[in-house]
Amino acid sequence: MEQPIPILMYHLVAELDRRSLYPLQYMPPKQFGLQMRVLRAMGFRSVAMGDLFNKKTSGRTIVLTFDDAYENFYENALPYLKSTGHTATVFAVANQIGGTNAWDISSGECPHPLMSAMQLRECVDGGIEIGSHTLDHVKLAQVPTESAWKQISDSKSVIESVIGTEVRSFSYPHGSHTREVRDLVERAGYAAACTTVSGLNKASDDRFLLRRINCRTLTHLPLFLRRVLAKTAETRTQATRPSG
């Protein structure tokens, strides 16, 4: 990774359900499609998160990530990715494959179906990377070490058995992590992990604490471009600014 790279974070690629407790997690499909077309027109090339550190990147590189593996990714986001030549990394909750967002429903959130095993495999066949979002979408910083290890390591093996390929990437549910949790993710054999902390990433940064840019309903195109381009310019300026 030779230059700062933005990692975008999406959740629901769907029209807003006004009953939702989390309206800002929605990205209207047409708005998402426009973002993908603009990225392509501006020369951005997307790569899977697991490839950031084992492939030489050049030019404008970007990573597209989707937390929770909602079925609306398969229905609404995947067609736009295919038509614009982009790839992405989708983080699945291992014990809810083919299920729902049970971790939110218990708090009164609207139910949303998650991708089935067959849909996940179709994504893999289409060049999409599937990563882990733990077994049950727990806040890893708030559970005992043994439980955190099980959530991190067992989810990797469960998802691998479903998709038939290695799981290399991890996303901390709710952005919840500690130094110990970060070390458990590395120990489990992942290549990289992302947080919900805002910002870009340089080659010297911790690959298990990668930052992201949140993309949601209010991220209209001008704001989207400012976040992607201004942050890139800002990081490049900081990298070339004389010290002292």
Structural domain includes residue 210? yes
- Tens digit of each residue's pLDDT (9 = 90 or more) over 75-126: 999 999 999 999 999 999 999 999 999 999 988 999 999 999 999 999 999 9
| CATH code, domain carrying 146 | 3.20.20.370
Q: Give residue 67's identity as a one-letter amino acid code.
A: D
Q: Is the residue at 192 inside a domain?
A: yes
Q: What is the pLDDT of residue 232?
A: 46
pLDDT in the model for residue 240: 31
The answer to whether position 1 is within a domain reads no
Q: Which domain holds residue 227?
A: 7-240
Question: How many helices, marked H, and strands, marked E, lie in the chain?
Answer: 9, 8
The per-residue pLDDT of the chain, averaged, comes to 90
**Confidence tier at 237 by pLDDT (50, 70, 90):** very low
Model confidence band, residue 230 (pLDDT cutoffs 50, 70, 90): low
Alpha carbon distance 7, 213 (integer Å): 6
2 found inside a domain: no
Domain assignment of residue 23, yes or no = yes
Amino acid at 23: P
Q: Is residue 204 part of a domain?
A: yes
pLDDT of 120-163, one tens digit each? Answer: 999 999 999 999 999 999 999 999 999 999 999 999 999 999 99
Across-strand partners of 212? 198
- Residue whose C-alpha is closest to residue 193's, from 242, 147, 155: 155
Q: Quick one: DSSP state of residue 242?
A: P
Instruction: Work out the burial of residue 237: count CB atoms within 10 Å of its CB; fewer than 13 is exposed, 13-18 middle, 19 or more buried.
Output: exposed
Report yes or no on 163 lying in a domain: yes
Res. 236 pLDDT band, cuts 50 70 90: very low
Q: Is residue 71 part of a domain?
A: yes
Cα atoms found within 13 Å of the Cα of residue 103, Cβ hemisphere only: 15
Instruction: Report the relative pairing of strands 7-10 and 89-92 from DSSP bridges.
Output: unpaired
- What's the structural domain count of the chain? 1
Whole-number Å distance between alpha carbons of 62 and 5: 6
